[in-house]
Structures are given as structure tokens and as C-alpha cells.
A and B are shown apart, each in its own frame.
Chain A
């Protein structure tokens, strides 16, 4: 069991190395997709079927959105030399971080023996107190419903933010210099521009 998890994690690391270092933008986006799908297999083997379902579908939507960003341009290649200062300094600092992380990880409880002080009560009496047999759903919507309100708020705010950024800009009084308008359309523009709607 652990051997299989180690193999899949090594596969993910190799996939992300390819995603970082390749020069073609489309190839790096597809490598991120491979990393996400193997992550969903790891979730299934760790006993979390809810999260495996969500990760697969969210991965597909991430791929669609990222490909929409990369096919904007005609050239999908990256040019130019790398500048040295961020590269060298990040290597030094992340090397130091990994050395200390190796010692910090030894303090965690062993893999396979979690502490579970709070979850003991959820597993014992979760089905009886709430009536739902899926314990993860009863935690998400009954014991910790306040966090779900926070999640709904964050999703709502990020969608509003994306809409505000993509909105059409109108400028009055500069009709000669700015005859093009970029952005998403309002309803009357849709009726004027798309016939047979």
C-alpha cells in the first residue's frame, strides 16, 4: 500500500517537473492535468471517495479554463533568457527550507496512526445525532455549517471579482481614439450584435 502511494507521488513529481520546465505553454497545461488526475487516484486509495469525485471534475474544468487562457495568442512558446537572481536565491532558500522540513516532519505522528481526538465523537455519534449516514456531509453541513457559509462567500466574491475585471469599459468623449470596446456584453449589445437570437 505504501509502495503504491510512493510510486504515484513520484509520478506526480515527475509530471510537475515537466510542467515547470517545458517551453511550450500548451504542453505545460496538459502536464498539470496529468498531475491532477493522478492526485484523484491517490485520494481514492486514501479512503476519501467524496474528494476523488470532486477532484476529477474540477480538474477537467481547470484544464478548460487554462486552455482558454493560452490560446489567446498565436505563439505558444516562451522566449528570452532567464535572469539569474530569482533563480539562484530561490534555490538557496528552498534548499534550506527542505532541510529544516525533514527534521520537522519527524515530529508528526506516524503515517497511519492519526490522533483523532475531535473526530472520535463525530464517528461514534454522528449517524445517530444527525440522521445522515455520510459522516463527511454531516460534518460539512451540521457540525461545521459555519465554515460552509464562509466557502459560499469566497466563491461568490471571486466570481463577482472576475466579472468586474472583464466588464466592458466605456469612455465618453473620446470617440475617435477609442472606437473598440473590449469586454463582455450587456443585454442590449447582445440583441444588436447577434441576429436571430
Chain B
């Protein structure tokens, strides 16, 4: 709790303490809402794309309120690239598994009853794969745009005689 208190009171990076307290509270709600829209994509409006963008927006709010370093410590570049590749590969392998039934992209799992959560074959699984992929992509591009130029500000503090990394 000590580190959290000091981070909230630190006004040099990020925003004022009011914004930080509210964002701590609201970010969990946004993540749950985004996961709901991805999972129920075959019953209510939404689907993989809308839910993935909402999850990325939750992360963007965290980085805007708390600063770049805390955002990078929660999810690094490497984790985002691994999640992105996993989402794309899962989607394509679900399409290739349709070859077991007949042709490419066949819906091969049992259909179930309508209006159930576990129905409609492999459509919920494809929604989850697309959601993970879109989240990781938009998060990666946002963190790249926000730490671009960081080296300029840091390097200007060093001496000219120091060698660069």
C-alpha cells in the first residue's frame, strides 16, 4: 500500500490524484464490460471487434492517468506481441480444423440450443480469438506512439562525452 500511496501523490508523471483514484476504480468495470461483449457476441450486439476495442480503451485510460512507466510494467511489448500472434494463429487454426468435417471454415462443433451461452458451434471461440488479437494490436500501437521520443528527453540530460547505448 505504501508504493500505491506514493504513486498517487506523485504529480510529476500522470494526472492529479482525483483522476488516479477514479481510474483505479473504473478500470476493472471497463474490463468486465469488454469481456461481456466479447463472450456474448453471438446473442447480443457486439462481437469480437467491439469488445477488443473496449479492452484496449481500458488500457489506454490506465496509461493516460498513471504515466508510461506504470503502463509498461503492467504489460510489456513482448507480452503484447505474444498475445497478438496467439490470437491470429488460433483464428486460422480454427478455420483449418474445419477440414475435419468437409471444407474450409466449416462449423464443426455441435450447435446446441438457441439463446444458450454455449451454442452456435465454434463462433464463440472465434470471437475470443479476434478479441485477443484486436486488443493486443491496439495496445501495442498506442504504447509505441507514447514512448516514441522518450529517448530524446533522456539523452539531453547526459553529457556529450558519454557514449550512447
Q: Shortest beta-carbon distance, B67 to chain A, in Å?
A: 11
* Chain B 143-160 interface residues, beta-carbon cutoff 8 Å to A: 144-152, 154-156, 160
Q: Are B92 and A149 in contact (CB under 8 A)?
A: yes
Interface size of B in residues (CB-CB distance below 8 Å): 64
Across the interface, which residues of B come within 8 angstroms of A162, CB to CB?
141, 144-145
Across the interface, which residues of A come within 8 angstroms of B91, CB to CB?
148-149, 152
- Report the bound CA distance from A49 to B47 in whole Å: 11
Q: Shortest beta-carbon distance, B159 to chain A, in Å?
A: 10
When each residue 58-74 of chain B gets 1 if its CB lies under 8 Å from chain A and 0 otherwise, what string results? 00100010000100110
- Report the bound CA distance from A64 to B56 in whole Å: 12
Task: Tell whether A75 is near chain B: CB-to-CB under 8 Å.
Answer: no
Interface size of A in residues (CB-CB distance below 8 Å): 52
Across the interface, which residues of A come within 8 angstroms of B57, CB to CB?
57, 60-61
Q: Shortest beta-carbon distance, B73 to chain A, in Å?
A: 6
Chain A's closest residue to B72 (CB) is A190
**Most-contacted residue by chain B among A131, A145, A184 (CB, 10 A):** A131
Is chain B's interface secondary structure helix, strand, loop, or mixed overall? helix
3 smallest CB-CB distances across A and B, nearest first, come from A131-B111, A132-B120, A132-B42
Residue in contact with B120 in the complex, picked from A57, A131, A148, A166, CB distance below 8 Å? A131
When each residue 154-166 of chain A gets 1 if its CB lies under 8 Å from chain B and 0 otherwise, what string results? 0110010011001
Chain A's closest residue to B95 (CB) is A145
Q: Shortest beta-carbon distance, A164 to chain B, in Å?
A: 10
Chain B's closest residue to A145 (CB) is B105
Q: Are B53 and A58 in contact (CB under 8 A)?
A: yes
- Report the bound CA distance from A189 to B152 in whole Å: 13
- B: residues with CB less than 8 A from A are 37, 41-50, 53-54, 56-57, 60, 64, 69, 72-73, 76-78, 84, 88, 91-92, 95, 105, 107, 111-112, 114-115, 119-121, 123, 126-127, 130, 133-134, 137-138, 140-142, 144-152, 154-156, 160, 163-165
- Report the bound CA distance from A142 to B92 in whole Å: 13
Q: Are B114 and A131 in contact (CB under 8 A)?
A: yes
- Report the bound CA distance from A145 to B1 in whole Å: 48
Across the interface, which residues of B come within 8 angstroms of A136, CB to CB?
45, 47
Task: Tell me whether A166 and B165 are in contact in the complex, defined as CB-CB below 8 angstroms, given that A132-B123, A193-B154 are known contacts.
Answer: no
- Report the bound CA distance from A183 to B165 in whole Å: 13
Q: Are A159 and B41 in contact (CB under 8 A)?
A: no
* Chain A 151-196 interface residues, beta-carbon cutoff 8 Å to B: 152, 155-156, 159, 162-163, 166, 168, 175, 179-185, 187-190, 192-194
Chain A's closest residue to B146 (CB) is A68
When each residue 34-75 of chain A gets 1 if its CB lies under 8 Å from chain B and 0 otherwise, what string results? 000000000000000110011001101100110010001000
Q: Are A53 and B126 in contact (CB under 8 A)?
A: no
Q: Shortest beta-carbon distance, B118 to chain A, in Å?
A: 10
Across the interface, which residues of A come within 8 angstroms of B156, CB to CB?
180
Across the interface, which residues of B come within 8 angstroms of A145, CB to CB?
95, 105, 126
Q: Are B126 and A141 in contact (CB under 8 A)?
A: yes
Q: Are A180 and B92 in contact (CB under 8 A)?
A: no
- Report the bound CA distance from A47 to B64 in whole Å: 34
